[in-house]
Chains A and B, each alone.
Chain A
Amino acid sequence: MSATDTPSRPLASLDIKKEVERYALVLGWIFLIAIFGLLLPDTFLTWRTFSSMLGSQAVLVVLALGILIPLTSGDFDLSAASILVFGSMFLAVSNVQWGWPVGLSVVAVVLIGLIAGLVNAFFVLFFRIHSLIVTLGIGTFLNGMTLWISNSRTVSGVSMELVEIVVIQRLFGVPLAFYYGLLVALVMWYMLEFTISGRKLLFVGRGREVARLNGVPVERVRAIAFGISGGLSGLAGVLYAGMTGSADPTSGLQLLLPAFAAAFLGATAIYPGRFNPIGTLVGVYFLITGITGLTMLGADAYVQSLFYGGALVVAVSLSQLVRQRQPQHFA
């Protein structure tokens, strides 16, 4: 065959392009750190700043990782933040007002999240309703439950044992909360990349009919994805209560859009075009680095929103350019 050597050159250039795309967000993150380091050499480039940034985002990381599972299988979970809020409120009410040991409250919250996820799955799969509609409804229902059990009030006084192991205890100067988020991301990365269950999840997301024809139990995989999302949202609720030592009935709902932003931003990195936990982790810390640096520079609140929204759209658009504007299949 006379053409045996010809592909080597384009292949090499393609690989470089792919590698650049994979690590563009990481490079952007390093670039941001360098810029803020130049502008704020005495205050930004300190371990205190980095430990502070790392320690503060665990709730968002776990929530984003939670919604990432159904996103991978082609479903949206809009109830995730509502599960988080209900979970943190249930933890506070059961621990503070009913006198449950905090360990029992934590287990109960994760189980409640899991059950809420399975309820989502039941309505989506049994009645064949789009996940957007079901999770929106279940989320709103849970918001009502939260107001009900809390009497619309913030409940403080959550056991200091939980606060201690979430935000006060440190490893290398970084609150333990960071390591919980990191651990969830690493376990999820391993599951998605190196286990049969993880690959099945990817197949289902890429094409349900093809997966079904290949013998993948599509509905079971989707149900498990909803369950894991609910359980992780419950865990995020535990961390939320552990961060603040309290639970309020509404504010955690604000985390839903940042969580989706982090998941979509993460889909431009490491494994471009695919939701992936390490990319999500990088996405969350890319965004908080920008916000922290801008705040330290004294930027107004609106500048932070400009950065947050702008970074998301620009990163996803650049990624699409590199991929020659191939259609995206998120759901």
Chain B
Amino acid sequence: MTTFTSRFALACGLALAPVLAGPAAAQDAMETAQALLEKHRAIPEFEPQGEPFDAQACMEGESVFSIPITMAIPFNVELQRAMARAAEEVGFTYTTWENQGSSDAWIQGVNQAISQGYSLVDVAGGLNPAVLAPQLTEASEAGLKVTTTHLYDETQEQADFVDASGKVPYSTVGEILASWAYVETEGAPNVLIIGSDDVLPTEPFVQSIQDTLSEYCPDCTQKYINVPVNEWATRIQSGTQSALLSDPGINYIIPIYDSMSQFVIPALRIAGATDVGIATFNGTPFVLDMVREGTVQMDVGESLGWAGYAAVDAMMRTICDMEVPESLGIPLLIFDESNIETAGNPADFDSGYGDAHVQGFRALWGLE
């Protein structure tokens, strides 16, 4: 619903743009952008993504084996903790395959899931099932369901051998970030976008930012630089500096994953461009702390507690042969100077979003 509504609002604005030429069109785009931002400032309410069902009855004797891309990243640790909490509430066996991000460990994990007779094997937190295609196909042939969690954008197709995917609204995040830059620059954005094309959802994510900016302001400038993940420390700073030097008019930077921000900030300091704003996505605690300090202006956050429960909901529906929602339906919340105190001090992964999801999912699963 979140995605549909925001896109509908955006589409309405765009449809009107050619008609209301000049200042009127700009005014319209500004209102559309502000409306989208306002919507994502409110503490989210729970909206069920599927029909209620008796989770305990259908999960009796079932088990889930989840393989995160690595447990050396706090994001994955928190996501796995939330998924384990949700499984415990329902009362089925949930196993996290602790690993440090190597492909041999992932392969070993799938083999474990098959040999120990799990009902479902899940690849989570950015692990692309394509790199485990032979093993996951074998798991599927052995009767295990195969799912992905928190990988694909809602607009992306899952791999053939995957039964269901808990998708993430990256495209909507793109619209929010573009809207923020548009509003903050008073309708005159000159934006540098930094992404990593080697991360699967980057393409639709960046495309959404670019399209939204172009639609709000067809004549405004935007530039994209691609920095592979394993070169963030060596290339983001130099790339940002070079972009600022070649175009001193850049007034906003959107590093699409917020951990990139730590390399953007020194670039701004060295280039003497400290008035350039930064807006980003992920709600990683140290970046939320940077929002509090004022070095980052805005971070779109997602509750990992909520994401964990939603992922388990999708897994259970897959095991129980029910219709699985297209999206995890994780609400997106804007953190800026006005509400950053709600994120905790120091910030953490789950504060500020409320806890509507806990009661909501319990009721949805027939536990109340």
Contacts and interface: CB of A to CB of B under 8 A. Distances in A.
Contacts of B237: 56, 243
B266 A243 contact: yes
Contacts of A151: 74
Contacts of A301: 197, 225-228, 231, 235
B272 interface: yes
B43 to A, nearest CB: 25
A264 to B, nearest CB: 17
Interface in B269-327: 269-272, 284-287, 289-290, 293, 295
B286 A288 contact: no
Contacts of B238: 56, 288, 291-292, 295
Contacts of B144: none
Interface in A225-268: 243-246, 248-255, 258
Nearest to A247: B262
Given A156-B293, A254-B230, A255-B234, A49 B262 contact: no
A62 B69 CA distance: 33
- Among the interface residues A46, A245, A301, which one has the most CB atoms of the partner chain B within 10 A? A301
B16 to A, nearest CB: 34
Nearest to A249: B72
Contacts of A44: 245
Interface in B241-287: 241-247, 259, 262-263, 265-267, 269-272, 284-287
Contact of A295 (B225, B285, B290): B225
Contacts of B244: 52
Contact of B72 (A152, A254, A300): A152
A236 to B, nearest CB: 12
A152 B74 contact: yes
Nearest to B233: A251
Contacts of B246: 40, 43, 295-296
Nearest to A151: B74
A50 to B, nearest CB: 10
A56 B285 CA distance: 26
- Among the interface residues A48, A153, A156, A300, which one has the most CB atoms of the partner chain B within 10 A? A156
B168 to A, nearest CB: 21
A253 to B, nearest CB: 8
A48 B286 contact: no
B232 interface: yes
Interface residues of B, number: 45
A53 B72 CA distance: 33
B225 A246 contact: no
Contacts of A163: 269
Given A46-B245, A157-B289, A258 B234 contact: yes
A291 B74 CA distance: 32
Contacts of B242: 291-292, 295-296
B245 A296 contact: yes
Instruction: Name the prevailing secondary structure of the A interface residues.
Output: helix
B73 interface: yes
A152 B271 contact: no
B72 A250 contact: yes
A40 B247 CA distance: 12
B244 to A, nearest CB: 8
A120 to B, nearest CB: 23
Contacts of A296: 242-243, 245-246
B231 A156 contact: no
Contact of B262 (A48, A168, A244): A244
B77 interface: yes
B117 interface: no
- Among the interface residues B227, B232, B272, B287, which one has the most CB atoms of the partner chain A within 10 A? B272
B239 interface: yes
A156 B233 contact: no
A74 interface: no
B293 A167 contact: no
B233 A254 contact: yes
A245 B265 contact: yes
A154 interface: yes
A285 B285 CA distance: 35
Contact of B285 (A153, A250, A304): A153
Contact of A154 (B72, B235, B259): B259
A156 B271 CA distance: 21
Contact of B267 (A56, A155, A168, A291): A56
A243 B240 CA distance: 14
Contacts of A40: 246
Contacts of A295: 225, 238-239, 242-243, 246
Nearest to B260: A251
A175 interface: yes
Contacts of A48: 245, 271-272
Contacts of B230: 254
Contacts of A167: 266, 269-270
B293 A304 contact: no
A87 interface: no
30 contacts: A43-B245, A43-B246, A43-B247, A44-B245, A52-B271, A53-B241, A56-B241, A153-B74, A154-B286, A155-B286, A156-B262, A156-B293, A157-B289, A163-B269, A167-B270, A243-B237, A243-B266, A244-B263, A245-B262, A246-B286, A251-B232, A252-B233, A254-B234, A255-B233, A291-B238, A292-B241, A292-B242, A296-B242, A301-B225, A301-B231
8 tightest CB-CB pairs across the interface, nearest first?
A: A295-B242, A251-B233, A296-B246, A154-B286, A156-B286, A243-B266, A254-B233, A55-B270
Given A43-B247, A255-B233, 14 more contacts: A43-B246, A52-B245, A152-B77, A167-B270, A248-B259, A249-B72, A252-B233, A253-B233, A258-B234, A291-B242, A295-B238, A295-B246, A301-B225, A301-B227
